[in-house]
Amino acid sequence: MNSKMLFAVLLAFGVAFAGLSVDNYVVSKTQYEPNEPGIATVTVSNPTGSERISSITMSIENPPEIAVTSAPKMSDIDAGGSAIVSIPFRVKADARPGIYLLNVVFSGYKQSGGTSTTSTNTVSIPITVLNAPDLSFSVDDTALSGINFVQLTISNNGGDAKKVKISIPTSTGSVMSSTYGGSTSVSGSNTSTQQISASQIAFFGIDSIYVGSIDGGKNVALNVTLDSRSADDGANDMPIFYFFDDELGMTHSAYSNLRMNVRNEKLDLKFDQTSSLVTKRESNLSFTVRNDGAESLKDVRLSFPNDTLRLKDSGEMKFGDIAPGESATASVVAFAELPPGVNPVGAEISWIERDVQKTESRQLPITITSDADVGVYLEAKPLPLTLGSEHTISVLVSNLGSYRIDNVDVSIASPAFRSMDISERQYIGSLQNDDFSTVQFLVAVNATSEGSVPVKITVNYRDQSGEWKTKVINQDVSVYNPPVADGSPIPIVGGIVVLAIAVWFFFLRKKNPNGG
């Protein structure tokens, strides 16, 4: 039962029996922090009859977390009259977050025909105790010029914040806002409508970032990529929307503005990567370049001085001449020793403008795809597979990629097998690169006749970029009739098939130092 329902019940009870009635109560704030004072105000009345209620007393039952600093005295209330009582209190410093009831009992005497009767009423006042989160934002560099990598620091000077998520609005809209924890909240009571303009600065490549929990008094630093290519020169307000749960589990949303300074480069070239580049493997790297400037550019070239990204052959990408408003594309074979995900890579751009050779250094975001792959090796005991028998199928999974893979699990399925295990899926967990692990399945061969039957092996895993991958291998195996009574041997033709290509790749591929 919430506080409004509780008050309605108590109010109905007071009116039904006449005499003292509690008409209303208010508290000075909707919530209080530990060691914070407050005031609860109660309106008490004598709504019916013609008798005065005298000798009114007030007793307070307070929980241990709430200390009542004084209990004011009350005067008599004539028929039809009322009195307002203010009860000062303080939340104790060690009070835990929660909703606590302050129970107040009013009692008085009513004279009627020479007879004195007692009139009593009770009100329970809920007091919410919460150390509200107080999140603020800062960046290590407010100067932006295109695509920039900055460190965004989130500081929490209040109570614990859970399930924190941040985003930058890219469309204009109205929000309901109120003050919450030193920021502007877009949820809660006592709200007003505010117009929020779309931000010309956005996260590059993502819509939002899940931060998780930020304890009170703690900071969290995030490396983020900001895209200011659409922003006007000069100061720009970048609103950051954030969502979180407080210590009582209530969800709130709020926003905070960061003032950023945008400075457009004289060279107005926009680079967009148009191909996937696989880590530690030679693959095709393509860029499309658009000239958004007012000058024609000749002999535009792009190179990467850092050895973490190496271009084969000429060592540079040649785009040729690019007129204003036009685009050009270039491709080259590249080898990157970079982790999966978006990586800032130092680049050098050269071009000829008005017959003058110019160069500029810039950081470009390069998206790297994981080279995660697995090899599979099968073995059965005992051999050969015979109709109606139980066999243990061992599946060895090896990590052929350059980085650890996580949440690895394996399953096998075949119309010729009936699983004898509780689950048809076996969990491996994590595998470092060049590592392997084996799981086993107990099956009964329930094929109707001997011969070749299909088996499907499924391996699920998550690579270092966070992407889930699935590898499915379909292979035929041979099953046989049970041995005859004379003990004649049955040739093991086929049996469980070793996936030779995967095993060869696992054991021999590392001899190539370039990984290609």
DSSP calls for 137-193: EEES--EE-SEEEEEEEEEE-SS-EEEEEEE---S-EEEEEEEETTEEESSSSS-EE
CATH number of 374-511: 2.60.40.10
Spatial distance between the Cα atoms of 107 and 436, rounded to a whole number of angstroms: 78
Name the CATH architecture for the domain at 269-369: Sandwich (2.60)
| CATH number among 3.40.50.1950, 3.40.50.10880, 1.10.2020.10, 2.60.40.10, domain 3-129 | 2.60.40.10
Q: Specify the pTM.
A: 0.48
CATH of 135-262, one of 1.10.3470, 2.60.40, 2.40.128, 3.40.50: 2.60.40
Distance CA 305, CA 309 (A): 8
Report d(CA 163, CA 247) in Å as an integer.
11
* Domain-wise residue ranges, the chain: 3-129, 135-262, 269-369, 374-511
Q: Which of 125, 103, 122, 92 is nearest to 25 (CA)?
A: 125
Do the Cβ atoms of 167 and 186 come closer than 8 Å?
no
Q: How many CB atoms lie within 10 A of CB 1?
A: 9
> What's the pLDDT tens digit per position in 395-421?
999 999 888 899 999 999 999 898 888
pLDDT tens string, the chain, 516 residues long: the values are 444 444 444 444 443 345 788 888 999 998 899 999 999 999 999 886 668 888 888 989 999 999 998 878 888 888 888 899 999 999 999 999 999 999 999 998 887 777 788 888 999 999 999 988 999 999 999 998 778 899 999 999 989 999 999 998 877 654 444 444 333 333 333 444 556 677 888 898 888 899 999 999 999 999 999 988 778 888 898 999 999 999 888 888 888 899 999 886 567 889 999 988 888 888 899 999 999 888 889 999 999 998 889 998 888 999 999 999 999 999 999 998 888 888 889 999 999 987 878 888 888 989 888 888 899 988 888 988 888 889 999 999 999 988 889 999 999 999 989 888 888 889 999 999 889 999 999 999 988 888 898 999 999 998 887 778 899 999 888 888 887 655 444 443 333 344 444 444 444 454 444 444
Domains 3-129 and 374-511 share a fold: yes
Positive or negative CA dihedral for 383, 386, 390, 396? positive
